[in-house]
Each structure stands twice: as structure tokens, then as C-alpha cells.
């Protein structure tokens, strides 16, 4: 049995969000954070110790000696006796508390590209079950500018240098390993979807319940005649006092280009605009530039994330690049 999910398996796992009833008031908890709740970045950034780095280097060497392709490796092929305890804490923080964790100091400068990919894949196995990120089955995504244009209705925006609006990915957790940063821009922005919901409810209680009804989501993968163009996804689900959010500003909006998708009502347009206005509020939105060797882990149930547009370096092999993992967590 493979250590990873297919695209269909992962999508089905992610969207099996239970829904019991509409919330009757604001939703409390550690996931409802604002920027002012963090005294410093030490609250959400973990810095590896020399002992951790030695452990990782040894694990990479062990995994390489197996001779296995990276996607055939298992947790046992990448032993982390000390870091495993920290990883369990990160997973708990992501899944049941603030919804994100940044880890700094991974020694990618010491590794080849193959070793870096082995490391990131195997670290993901310790966090959860990796899954494919598109119908083509890509398991380790490359987030970089490929020269495609934002105006192309079928391009996935992470393949461009353009700004990306607040959204979630179709997996419980997304991990981004920074290989190289941009010359300018490319700053990560995150916000608590619980905080955003509470603010929408406070400002427009007449619109908040609409978040629990479906919006058309643009697929952006299908250009063939007769292929599926969009699906209906409710942004919010609520059960057991837990709000789970899938929000995708760009793809909710671009679905309007399809002739069989009805135009937004005035209330729907107002709701989407308000949601993104709140997410962009400096008191709600946490900004963090990612440096080489940083990993950002995010819950796609309680965090929405975005990125500023960026300018790349001019030299070959110097352009901004991140590796991406999508992970499913056992529940």
C-alpha cells in the first residue's frame, strides 16, 4: 500500500468535513487569533538546534542508502528519535490550536536537490500522509514562476509571479519549504478563518450564514470539451464547536466566467468582498517572508493564506522556488 493518497483520495478525505448546525455565536478558541496575540515570532517559529540538524543529516543518509525512490520510503527509513516529539507538537498546534507553525534552520545548503527532496518528503511522512496535488499526480510540488500569465484562465497561480489572494488548498495541511527567496516580494500572508468568520458575523450577521452554502469553485485544470469546469463547495462547515473552512477567492470569482454559473447576487458579492477585506486587515493578517531553509506548515481548515507578487533575480538558478507538500491527517 503506498504511503500517499491519490488526488481523488486526498480530495475526498479533505472535503469530508462534518456539518451539524450553524454556529449560534462567535467561535472561541486558540484558532481565533489576531496578530496582536503574538508578542513575537518566537510564539510561532521553532528554530532547529545543532542536535536536530545532526539527526536530520543522519536520517537523509539512511534514507539514501535504502536505494528506494523517495515515494517508496517510509517513516522507518527516516528515523527522527528527537525531532519526532517536536513534530507531534507541531501537528497538534496545526490541527487543534492556532493552525500554523514555522520551522527554521533546515540545512538545505548542505544537500543536493535529490537529498532535499528526500528530506522534505520523509519529514512529511512524519507529519501525515502526503497526497497528489493535481490530477496528474504530482506529489512534491514546485512553486515557482514558469512564465505563464495570470490572464490564462487555466493556469494555477502558483506557477506565476502574480499576487495570490486568500485561499485554502484541498488538503488538511500544506507545507512549504523555501529553497530560494525572491529578489523582492513573495511575502506569505496568513489569517485565521475563525477570526474572519467571527468578524463577518459581528459586522454583517445577515450574511454570515451564506458561508455555509455552496459557491461554484473553478476547476482550472480542465480545458477539454465536456470536461468538468466547476464544482459546488460550501466555504464553511461546523460541528463539535469546530469551524472548518475552505475558501478560495480567485477560484470562486473566476467560476463566474462559465455560462452555467449564475452571477453573484449583491449579497454574495458583498460577502466575498467583506471576507477578503477582513482577511487583509493588518490586525488580522500575519505577514512572514520565508527564507531558505524555512518550512511553513498551515492548516487548510483554519487558516487562509495568500502571497504578494514578486520580482525575481536575473541569474539562472537564482529564482524564487519553494517545494510544496499536501498532507492528510488521521482523525
pLDDT of residue 218: 93
Average pLDDT over residues 116-121: 97
pLDDT tens, position by position, 6-53: 999 999 999 999 999 999 999 999 999 999 999 999 999 999 999 999
Identify the band that residue 157 occupies on the pLDDT scale cut at 50, 70 and 90: confident
Identify the band that residue 1 occupies on the pLDDT scale cut at 50, 70 and 90: low
pLDDT of residue 196: 98
Identify the band that residue 324 occupies on the pLDDT scale cut at 50, 70 and 90: very high
Query: Does 221 score more than 80 pLDDT?
Result: no
Task: Tell if the pTM clears 0.75, that is, is over it.
Answer: yes
Query: Does 286 score more than 60 pLDDT?
Result: yes
How many percent of the chain have pLDDT more than 70? 96
Average pLDDT over residues 164-190: 96
pLDDT of residue 154: 67
Domain locations in the chain as residue ranges: 7-19+29-328
DSSP character for 323?
A: E
pLDDT of residue 225: 57
Average pLDDT over residues 261-272: 98
Identify the band that residue 331 occupies on the pLDDT scale cut at 50, 70 and 90: low
pLDDT tens, position by position, 75-104: 999 999 999 999 999 999 999 999 999 999
pLDDT of residue 145: 80
Check whether domain 7-19+29-328 has CATH 3.60.130.10, yes or no: yes
How many percent of the chain have pLDDT more than 90? 85
Amino acid at each position: 500500500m503506498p504511503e500517499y493518497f491519490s488526488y481523488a483520495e486526498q480530495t475526498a478525505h479533505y472535503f469530508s468535513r462534518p456539518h451539524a448546525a450553524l454556529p449560534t455565536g462567535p467561535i472561541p478558541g486558540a484558532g481565533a487569533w489576531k496578530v496582536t496575540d503574538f508578542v513575537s515570532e518566537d510564539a510561532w517559529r521553532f528554530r532547529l538546534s545543532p542536535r536536530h540538524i545532526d539527526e536530520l543529516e543522519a536520517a537523509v543518509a539512511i534514507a539514501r542508502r535504502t536505494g528506494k525512490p523517495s515515494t517508496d520510503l517510509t517513516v522507518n527509513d527516516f528515523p527522527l528519535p528527537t525531532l519526532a516529539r517536536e513534530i507531534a507538537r507541531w501537528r497538534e498546534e496545526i490541527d487543534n490550536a492556532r493552525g500554523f507553525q514555522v520551522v527554521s534552520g533546515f540545512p538545505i545548503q548542505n544537500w543536493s536537490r535529490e537529498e532535499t527532496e528526500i528530506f522534505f518528503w520523509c519529514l512529511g511522512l512524519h507529519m501525515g500522509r502526503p497526497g497528489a496535488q493535481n490530477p496528474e499526480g504530482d506529489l512534491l510540488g514546485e512553486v515557482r514562476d514558469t512564465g505563464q500569465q495570470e490572464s490564462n484562465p487555466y493556469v494555477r497561480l502558483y506557477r506565476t509571479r502574480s499576487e495570490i489572494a486568500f485561499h485554502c488548498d484541498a488538503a488538511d495541511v500544506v507545507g512549504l519549504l523555501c529553497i530560494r527567496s525572491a529578489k523582492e516580494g513573495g511575502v506569505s500572508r496568513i489569517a485565521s478563518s475563525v477570526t474572519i468568520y467571527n468578524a463577518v458575523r459581528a459586522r454583517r450577521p445577515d450574511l454570515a450564514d451564506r458561508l455555509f452554502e455552496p459557491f461554484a469553485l473553478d476547476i482550472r485544470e480542465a480545458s477539454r470539451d465536456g470536461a468538468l469546469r466547476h464544482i459546488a463547495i460550501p466555504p464553511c462547515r461546523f460541528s463539535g464547536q469546530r469551524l472548518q473552512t475552505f475558501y478560495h477567492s480567485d477560484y470562486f470569482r473566476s467560476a463566474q466566467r462559465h455560462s452555467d454559473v449564475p452571477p453573484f447576487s449583491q449579497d454574495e458579492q458583498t460577502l466575498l468582498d467583506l471576507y477578503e477585506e477582513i482577511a487583509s486587515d493588518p490586525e488580522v493578517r500575519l505577514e512572514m517572508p520565508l527564507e531558505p531553509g524555512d518550512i511553513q506548515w498551515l492548516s487548510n481548515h483554519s487558516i487562509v493564506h495568500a502571497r504578494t507578487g514578486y520580482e525575481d533575480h536575473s541569474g539562472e538558478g537564482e529564482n524564487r522556488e519553494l517545494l510544496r507538500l499536501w498532507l492528510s491527517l488521521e482523525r
